[in-house]
Amino acid sequence: MILTIRNMVCDRCIRVVREELEKLGLTVNRVDLGEVDVDDLPPSVSTDQLREMLLANGFDLVDDKKQSLVEHTKRLLINEIQHLKGERHSTENVSTFLERKLGYDYSYLSGLFSASEGQTLEKYAIALKIEKVKEWLQYDELTLTEMAWRLGYSSVQHLSSQFRQVMGQTPGQFRKAATVSRRSVDSI
């Protein structure tokens, strides 16, 4: 039985969901971001109990097929953008990537996503990219040129412009603030 679970975004989420499902007595075969494969629910566990446990941990069980597609879309984007391991991000744009992976027209996916999440797919993807840039800036791992290249931006200027729009400051200002903050913590 495949369960779609909303709000799973990291490895910690995977661990928590696995542990909580096993506490309920479920046999867990696989846990990925937003998706869990379990044997059928035992008679002692109701869907309501499962939902309550998930809600208590900040997650939610998704029953609706359209909502499941939205969650799958989010998982694909998170995996594609947030979990970069140093290799270059594809130069394929978000719309082509999602059409290829999901088999649906981008305009359909975009409309479904916007209706469900209150923001466009494009803004969601940009937010994920900016979060990745913030992570790299905080740890002073890469130059802006390397970041732009890995995230598939056409130029450093494009990346900087989007960063400034989302964060209200330049990447350089953010890096400087993060460095000062890190030094303050290190001196304690």
Q: Of 153, 158, 7, which Cα lies nearest the Cα of 91?
A: 153
Q: In the prediction, which pLDDT does 174 show? A: 94
Q: In the prediction, which pLDDT does 31 show? A: 94
Strand partners, 31: 36
Q: Of 34, 158, 142, 145, which Cα lies nearest the Cα of 93?
A: 158
Tell me if 76 sits within 8 A of 21, measured CB to CB: no
Coil/strand/helix, residue 61 = strand
Phi/psi for 159 (5° steps) reads -60, -50
Q: In the prediction, which pLDDT does 15 show? A: 94
**Winning range, highest mean pLDDT, from 92-101, 115-124, 178-187:** 115-124
Instruction: Indicate whether 104 pLDDT > 90.
Output: yes
C-alpha distances in Å from residue 135, one per residue of 82, 95, 142, 175, 178:
10, 25, 10, 10, 10
- Report d(CA 143, CA 66) in Å as an integer: 40
Tell me if 2 sits within 8 A of 37, measured CB to CB: yes
Strand partners, 38: 28
Q: The pTM is what?
A: 0.74
Averaged pLDDT score across all residues of the chain: 88
Q: What is the pLDDT of residues 48-91, one digit of tens each?
A: 999 999 999 999 998 888 988 998 999 899 888 876 655 556 66
> In the chain, what are the domains?
2-63 (3.30.70.100), 66-186 (1.10.10.60)
Q: In the prediction, which pLDDT does 88 show? A: 58
Tell me if 133 sits within 8 A of 151, measured CB to CB: yes
pLDDT tier at 182, thresholds 50, 70, 90 = low
Q: In the prediction, which pLDDT does 49 show? A: 92
Residue 169 structure tokens: 């400051």
Residue 135 structure tokens: 């992570």
